[in-house]
């Protein structure tokens, strides 16, 4: 599949920069739900960020502040289905996890099943790079990562795969790596699946 870069004129670039600034400010104002999930910003097209790694780093730092732990004691996971809420009895526990939803991603080596959000094998008719639906990035305290009451991944699927997120399809810079639920993770790992940010800014 040949990637066709999206044309970006001066007006679109200016609007994208304003959007990026607005998102950075909104990171400071999380919305806390009754289930203890602090949601940062609205779904954000990460492809419009000139420095997407800086955005992820800022969200990670903000998540650490919200959860009251050092950033290196956070676990990051990703899922395509909406973030599941803890059981009602845990609803009194504020700030259990921090979530940010991003769009503007591509995946290679696997496809994401629409009904479950799990990684599965590609089909012969699939292009090399497939668009990714909304991806929910979730930060939790490390000591809670294996607790079934706070980890929907451990509840739904014990088979996960570490998937890297790169700034571009050349895989020159890895922003972060996180576990994603997968069918037959061992087989999927042989395809070296990876996520990439859509190249809005290339050639601009």
Model pLDDT, residue 204: 36
Q: Sketch out the chain's domains with CATH numbers.
A: 11-83+93-197 (3.10.490.20)
Q: What are the pLDDT digits (tens) for 94-121?
A: 467 888 888 899 999 999 988 888 999 9
Would the pTM of this model clear 0.85, i.e. be above it? no
pLDDT band at 39 (very low <50, low <70, confident <90, very high): low
Model pLDDT, residue 127: 92
Q: Please report, to the nearest 10 degrees, the dihedral formed by the alpha carbons of residues 139, 79, 158, 35 taken in order.
A: 60
Residues in the chain: 204
Contact 169, 3 (CB under 8 A): yes
* Helices then strands, each counted (H, E), the chain: 4, 13
Instruction: Give the three-class secondary structure for 48.
Output: helix
């Amino acid at each position: 599949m040949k990637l066709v870069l999206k044309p970006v004129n001066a007006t679109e670039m200016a609007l994208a920069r304003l959007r990026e600034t607005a998102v950075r400010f909104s990171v400071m104002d999380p919305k806390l739900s009754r289930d203890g999930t602090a949601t940062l910003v609205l779904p954000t097209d990460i492809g419009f960020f000139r420095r997407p790694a800086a955005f992820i780093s800022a969200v990670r730092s903000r998540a650490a502040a919200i959860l009251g732990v050092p950033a290196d004691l956070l676990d990051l996971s990703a899922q395509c289905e909406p973030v599941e809420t803890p059981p009602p009895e845990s609803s009194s526990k504020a700030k259990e996890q921090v979530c940010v939803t991003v769009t503007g991603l591509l995946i290679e080596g696997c496809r994401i099943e629409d009904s479950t959000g799990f990684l599965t094998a590609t089909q012969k008719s699939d292009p090399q790079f497939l668009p990714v639906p909304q991806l929910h990035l979730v930060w939790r305290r490390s000591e809670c990562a294996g607790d079934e009451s706070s980890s929907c991944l451990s509840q739904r699927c014990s088979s996960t795969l570490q998937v890297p997120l790169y700034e571009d399809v050349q895989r020159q810079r890895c922003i972060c790596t996180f576990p994603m639920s997968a069918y037959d993770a061992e087989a999927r790992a042989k395809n070296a699946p990876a996520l990439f940010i859509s190249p809005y800014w290339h050639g601009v």
